[in-house]
Amino acid sequence: MASLSRQLAQWVVALRYEDLPHEVVDRVKGLTLHGLASVLIGSQAPDGKRAVKLVTDEELGVRSGATIMVTGATVTKGGAAFANAEMAMAGGKFDSFRMLTHPGTSILPGALVAAEGTAASGKDYITAVAAAYEVMERLAADFIPTVMSRGFHASPVFGIFGPLIAVAKMLRFSEDQMNSAIALCASLASGNLEGLRSGGKALREGAAVRNAMLAVALAQAGHKGGETVLEGDAGFYHAYAGNNQGRLTYSFTGDTHASLGKITAGLGKDWILLETLYRIYSIAGYNIAHIDVTAKLCEEHDIRYGDIDRIEAIVNALETQYPSPAFVSRREDGAARPGGTSYFTAYGAVARGFPVARGLGVDPAGADVPPQVLELMKRVTIIPSTTMTLFGPRITIHTKDGRSYTKQGTGREFIWDFDEEARRIRDVVPVVPISAAQFEAIVDTCRDLERQTRADKLIQLTLS
């Protein structure tokens, strides 16, 4: 049987726009809109500004490069991808796949750099991005908690593969080039948890996409990446998961084994991309459902703050031990704190929602927070469970009259179509550095992306 990288390369090279189901095309459009909104917000955040300055100080004015979004500065392709990824991270409007990876923060910056450099059409862009999400998420799916338990940050470790696929697809790599590029990512993948745990800032998707651009250049120049670099005895899974037999230290479902063969099974038929959800609120992803599920429960039964005695939330156990049970830096099942799971559960009950326009780094105990939230969070109990689905809390509100009301989250509350994404993401307009009309042009371009002669029109629409 062909190696994993060879099977993936064959599928990516052969994939055509016409092969994509309607729902996959729709999701790529929505994920693109979500990512661009995050870049716009993040361009004004300190981390986003620092990344742009770092790159422009070193690279501004290169002869043949790529555009940093919002600013319009021309730098190297790797530099533009890095800066755009860092702005996307700073904006906080990530997509999320199985809690601990955020594919769009590396895939979309790489894909838009490639679209600009190749004059790719909207259809070319959609096809490349769909392939990128599918490959990255299949490689990551069952191994995320185990990789995290070994001290690696799964999002950038797997995040390098996504932009690599998107860029190489738009460059029309041959099967051999694609195979080598995928294999090279095993040497360039990185991401560690200890810096974050010890007071530092993790180097994440920005570095992943920059290294992906290096892998592309190396493969283009004829560098051979190897054949069994993913599943081999000294390969990627042995290094990052601890073995190449699929043994798992941790998993979201309690499984202790995963099949490497599952990575390529049903390629093009079963789209794991469709599991990707929108982190519409700029908060830890495992908290987003607490807001909407609790708010919906209160709406359905007309429960008011004054009616509530206490709230219980049963959640997936891994959501209470971030980033990994092996290296816990933040527990959510202990004492309530502003910005924790109890806080956001209370926020959903009190406000029946959360501000979409609020970015990262806002004081969760600030003056604009309803005081009832800070009081009620002390009466919220978080209960870990090994049987609960990710992002699907079971919320029970006990009222002062002795009654109780329960609502079970599905884990799919934040998976929706393009029209719903456009409706909800428009709430960021007051805080982005472009006009409402210009933002609406981005929405319209994403909606009609398959009819665009050039996908990089989206870059121009971000320029302030």
Block mean pLDDT (10 aa), the chain, length 464: 96 98 98 98 96 96 93 97 97 95 98 98 98 98 97 97 98 98 96 88 93 98 96 97 97 94 97 97 96 98 98 97 93 96 98 92 90 98 96 98 98 97 97 97 98 98 94
Hey, what domains does the chain have and what are their CATH numbers? Answer: 4-279+417-462 (1.10.4100.10), 285-408 (3.30.1330.120)
pLDDT at 196 (0 to 100): 82
The whole-number pLDDT of residue 162 equals 98
pLDDT tens digits, one per residue of 43-90: 999 999 999 999 999 999 898 899 999 999 999 999 999 999 999 999
Which 3 state secondary structure label does DSSP give 235?
A: coil
The alpha carbon of residue 419 and the mean position of all alpha carbons in its chain are separated, in whole angstroms, by 20
The position carrying tokens 């609020």 is: 358
What pLDDT sits at residue 202?
84
**What is residue 102's predicted lDDT score, i.e. its pLDDT?**
97
Closest CA to 111 of 40, 15, 29, 191: 29
What was the pLDDT predicted at 235? 97
The structure's pTM equals 0.97
pLDDT of residue 36: 98
* pLDDT tens by residue, 234-289: 999 999 999 999 999 999 998 999 999 999 999 999 999 999 999 999 999 999 99
Q: Using the structure block, give the residue that is written with the tokens 């490069």.
A: 65
To 5 degrees, how large is the angle CA 267–CA 105–CA 61? Answer: 120
pLDDT of residue 299: 98
Cis previous bond, 323, omega within 30: yes
- pLDDT value at position 312? 98
Contacting residues for 310 by C-beta, under 8 A, at least 6 apart:
379, 380, 381, 397, 398
Residue 406, helix vs strand vs coil: strand
Distance between CA 292 and CA 415 in Å, rounded? 13
Tell me which residue has tokens 């996409």.
Answer: 209
| Model pLDDT, residue 285 | 94
Helical segments of 66-103, H only: 77-91
Structure confidence at residue 197 (pLDDT) = 84
Select from 235, 243, 185, 244 the least CA-distant residue to 215: 185
Cα 288 to Cα 146, 275, 341, distances in angstroms: 23, 16, 9
